[in-house]
Amino acid sequence: MKFKISIHEDNGHKRLLTCVAWSSTEEIYSCGEDHLLICWHLEGGTAHSTVVTEFPNDFYPTDMQWHPRPNQTASVAKKSSLDVLLITTADGKYHLVNKNGRIEKSIDAHKGATTVGKWSIDGSALLTAGEDGLIKIWSRSGMLRSTLVKASLPILTSSWSPDCSMILYSQGGNLLLQSFNSNSKPYKWHAHDNLILIACWNPTNGFIASGGEDCKYKVWDATGHQLYCSIAGDHPVTAISWCHSSGSYFAVGSFNTIKLCDKNGWSHSMEKVNTGSIYGIAWSSDNTQVAMACSNGKLLTGHVIDRRLEWDNYEATLIRRKVIEVREVGNEVREVLEISDRVVHLEFGFDHLVVITPAQCHVYSVTNWNTPAIFNLKTSTISAVLLAKKHFLIVELNTVSLYSYQGRLLGSPRWKGFSSEPLYPICISLCADTLVVKDQNNEKLLHILEIPYNKPIVEVAIRTIGFGKICKIAAMAQNIAWATDANILAAMLDANLSVWLCPNCVHYSDRKIIRQARIDKESSEFGKQPNIVSVRNGMVMVRRGDGAIVASSFYNLFTSFHEHISNKKLKEALSLCRIAQNEILWTCMAIMATDHKELHAAEEAYAAICRFDKVDYIKYIKNLPTATERNAEMALLAGDLSMAEGILLQNNLIKEAIHINVQIYNWNSYANLGLDRS
């Protein structure tokens, strides 16, 4: 990816430009030391400027932000009431300005310059910071709520935490976190060797990016642990801004330089411009455009292009704002897709390319690039697009919509506790038959929704299986990912890349079985801070900390095995195990056969891995007189005590249910069953 940069200077500012903010995806407001507030309207990449107002001669802006408007479907009257521009100035004031440039309210906030003014995420409050070392919290109407921070040095940068429960601010070369709890002390860490000029907190993933006079930018987690440190540049870092809803990348500005960086810190691209220092960067709400305020009075806009996606042997690249090139690797077949409007978002997977524009969604199939399925979107702000085998999900702010690849709306899932809070990509996961959403208010709560074919989407309860215990399968996991074509789980552990070929075996009480179904690969080739990109076709794609992608294909043999099992070809799966004579493969066969109640296949597999205790138990199951008892004992062999007990009790076999609890020394259930029987 990279920025396509455009410089707008006609009828613009004549002196240093300090602030820039997006009013909509096609409208930018800028303000500088010439005291002008200018509106720039974008049409096809060209900006047309209009002077909104000229402020008094002592009006020198330092920061500017529009009131956040997350609900784009609000009424026109409500929208106009939210069109409030917060501008801080060098005389210690902050101003609330309407869209016509009229100052609605001016408030004396600090002694010396007011350096920072930020709305909270929901727009219910705002903070100001100044050269007097104070951070003050104000209501939306401009009433002082509290003086949160009283520091000894000027505060040059400050930001809200994602949940608005803390404030990030700088003191010299240190970064500090201050909670709204009046009894808490600030958490402090040394971040840069020289003065910190800018810091920004990502509301999506919780990462913090900072830059300073040591000419470096760094990425931190919310506890102050350093995730990335850039090499020292030629000039101080003067501006940093995260993209809003996705949190996937951020922009860094310094003297004559603009960088597009991944969320992990490494640089996608670096553009050189002749504009002097960049003092402000703002992202549009669709995360595809940036506006930049420059010291020579120029306004820069940038559009994200050259985004490249891969699926099997296809590669799709956004080469221009409205043009996508699709290439089939191997036969050099190329298709050029010209979209009617600029591309906001695109995802490629499961033989379909989903392209989002500000008003529509285009769905292309790899078998037909000429006639896509097209439908209109509910809003213009898309935060995530998730693809699955039979359907895909579009997240528009807090609205979740499920569509077929033919463009038909399958449903709009809702769950208990659903609220108007925005949903982020990291909070949602989708597969062929299940949607999982993290609760918007409770971080410890997950909502699991079943997606049955041709039926309404319903929320289902989580069923505890096995002995009702959480099974720890690994420690020090950096990240995890499911395979898209098989029931396989991959994880980057402390020293290994590990793949669980049968992750459903966690309900087994036998830890040896769990460990035998895992393959490890030493992770030295992946470097620091590796991240799993995808797991498919027997390959694990890992992105290293420097942005390079490393492919690992160390479990190809097992993809054929999973394909046989998913197609219910047990004989072919057994033949593969007999030919390969691989212990891990036989372990997977034992687990699969047990789950499918295939006694003969399970017996052979357990014998092959020398688990003769299991072989003896299977022989015992074969000799049981009734199918009910055999099914119950097979469930017990698989570690599912509740199912085994339920099968027996449903058939009024109370004595046998008591017997299996005695066998495993489960005295509580034994006592309860004995009382029920009496």
pLDDT digits (tens, 9 = 90+) for 78-107: 445 568 999 999 999 999 999 999 999 999
Q: Is the pLDDT of residue 464 over 80?
A: no
What is d(CA 39, CA 540) in angstroms, rounded to the nearest whole number?
A: 48
pLDDT the model gives residue 665: 65
Q: What is the helix (H) or strand (E) element at residue 333, kind and residue range? A: strand 333-338
Confidence of residue 294 (pLDDT cuts 50, 70, 90): very high
Average of per-residue pLDDT across 154-174: 94
- Least confident piece of the model among 309-323, 339-353, 430-444, 536-550: 430-444
> Packing angle between helix 599-608 and helix 627-637, nearest 10 degrees?
30
What is d(CA 222, CA 665) in angstroms, rounded to the nearest whole number?
A: 45
pLDDT the model gives residue 459: 58
Condensed to tens digits (0 to 9), the pLDDT of residues 582-639 reads: 898 998 888 888 888 888 898 999 899 888 888 998 898 888 888 888 888 787 777 7
Q: Is the pLDDT of residue 208 over 80?
A: yes
Condensed to tens digits (0 to 9), the pLDDT of residues 416-425 reads: 777 777 777 7
pLDDT the model gives residue 463: 41
pLDDT the model gives residue 74: 42
End-to-end CA distance of the chain: 72
What is d(CA 157, CA 198) in angstroms, rounded to the nearest whole number?
A: 5
Average pLDDT score, the chain: 85
CA–CA distances in Å: residue 497 to residues 297, 366, 483, 554: 50, 32, 14, 10
Confidence of residue 455 (pLDDT cuts 50, 70, 90): low
Token pair of 532 as six digits: 């799993």
> 452 and 410 in contact (C-beta within 8 Å)?
no
Which position has the higher pLDDT, 196 or 659? 196
- Least confident piece of the model among 163-177, 422-436, 592-606: 422-436
Average of per-residue pLDDT across 109-121: 95
Among residues 70, 24, 66, the alpha carbon closest in space to that of 420 is found at: 70
> 109 and 116 in contact (C-beta within 8 Å)?
no
Residue 73 CB partners (closer than 8 Å, separation 6+): 378, 379
Alpha helices for 342-412 (secondary structure H): none
Average of per-residue pLDDT across 534-555: 85
- Least confident piece of the model among 112-116, 521-525, 599-603, 672-676: 672-676
Condensed to tens digits (0 to 9), the pLDDT of residues 18-67 reads: 999 999 888 999 999 999 999 999 887 678 889 999 999 999 999 999 99
Q: Is the pLDDT of residue 351 over 60?
A: yes
pTM across the whole model: 0.83
Q: By 3-state DSSP, what share of the chain in percent is helix, strand and coil, each rounded to 5?
A: 20, 40, 40
Is the four-CA dihedral 59, 65, 67, 69 of positive or negative sign? positive
Partners of 534 in the beta sheet? 541
Residue 68: count of CB within 10 angstroms of its CB: 16
